A and B are shown apart, each in its own frame.
Chain A
Amino acid sequence: MEELQTKEIDRIKTLLNAAFHGGSWHGPSVLENVKDIKPKTAGARQKGIHTIAELVYHMTTWRIFVLKKIQGEGDFDIRTEKQNWGNLKEIDEFEWETLQMELTLSHDELMSSLAEKDDSFLLEIVPGSEYDFYTLLHGIINHDLYHNGQIGILKKMAPKASKFDDESEAPSTRYFNDDFGDEY
């Protein structure tokens, strides 16, 4: 019988990285989907749906949840709406950069927390829950991609602000007024 060449946890780490960075079987990774989104699109609210910025915050929150559980914090939980989705106001360039940086940092920390783990870890029960780390690690991948699918559509739904998006607003009316003003 052929033997698997790597440990199971290593294969799960590969899946985690692929779903986040790229190289997944299913299609676009989280970062592949998010990287070309402009702040205005990230903050655009569609009726009844979280914004892309909120979804990114939410993905970070649940990565931190996994991290805390790996660190043995049985009591850690995400209880409030604010914890879950943030309390985001205007999404400008700075805020959007920060959200993306926090997401990437949470991913890096998650990966380093798994560095020393071996396969027996997968069968350990997650502190404060009834399921094991196998379920939690695959769960976070599925969670990422579920929200990534939402982001994939939401970014196409955002109002077409086109090339003026973010760098600067569309030319102000004053610009045209000035132009007209010259004629009168």
Chain B
Amino acid sequence: MNRNELDRIIDNFDVVFRGDAWHGPSVMEFMNSMSLDVVDVKKEYSKHTICQIVYHLGAWRKFVLEKLDGNIRFDLVTEEDNYGTEEDITRSNWPKLIEQLKANQEALLSKLDEFDDSLLVKLVPGQDYDYYKLLTGMIQHDTYHLGMIWVLWE
């Protein structure tokens, strides 16, 4: 069982989430220092609030989990699938949003422990790309949205 490359991807995924990433701020570094005053503020130039983006980051972790469980049909299609319902994205729901995001991150990390490098060339069920693209893409998806969060926060 060869796990070199998958291990490095998991490590990259983990540091971008927890901290000590080469590029700069991590997901949790942002979340931990975020003032509640800004999380649900709707700006005219952004389609989404910080709460919605946090929901979105959690939702895509769930997507990967479902795919790793072989769920072909699972997808995030609607705006609500992607960015949550009205109740999900309120300021008062912030602690739950963070809890959910962290829980999904942990669940995904433990799930990935079951696999080795051969996972990377497997096609994601119901999609036309492989797990290498999905897992590296998730990391980049995090940093891309972190950049947006930073501007929304300022």
- Cα–Cα distance between A9 and B146 once the two chains are bound (Å): 26
Question: How far does the alpha carbon of A28 sit from the alpha carbon of B149 in the complex, in Å?
Answer: 16
Q: Which B106-154 residues sit within 8 Å CB-CB of chain A?
A: 117-118, 120-122, 129, 132-134, 136-141, 143-152, 154
Whether, in the assembled complex, B32 has its beta carbon less than 8 Å from a beta carbon of chain A, the answer is no
Contact B117 A146 (CB under 8 A): no
CB atoms of B133 and A25 under 8 A apart: yes
Q: What's the minimum C-beta distance from B95 to chain A, rounded to whole angstroms?
A: 24
Give chain B residues whose Cβ lies under 8 Å from the Cβ of A46. 151, 154
- The verdict on A154 contacting B140 (CB below 8 Å), with A142-B21, A146-B23 known, is no
Which among A3, A150, A152 has the greatest number of chain B C-beta atoms within 10 A?
A150
Contacts of A28 in B (CB 8 A): 144
Q: Which residues of A contact B140 (CB under 8 A)?
A: 15, 19, 24-26, 141-142, 145
A residues in contact with B136, CB < 8 Å: 15, 25, 138
Binding site for B on A (CB under 8 A): 1-5, 8, 11, 15, 19, 24-28, 46-49, 131, 134-136, 138-143, 145-154, 156-157
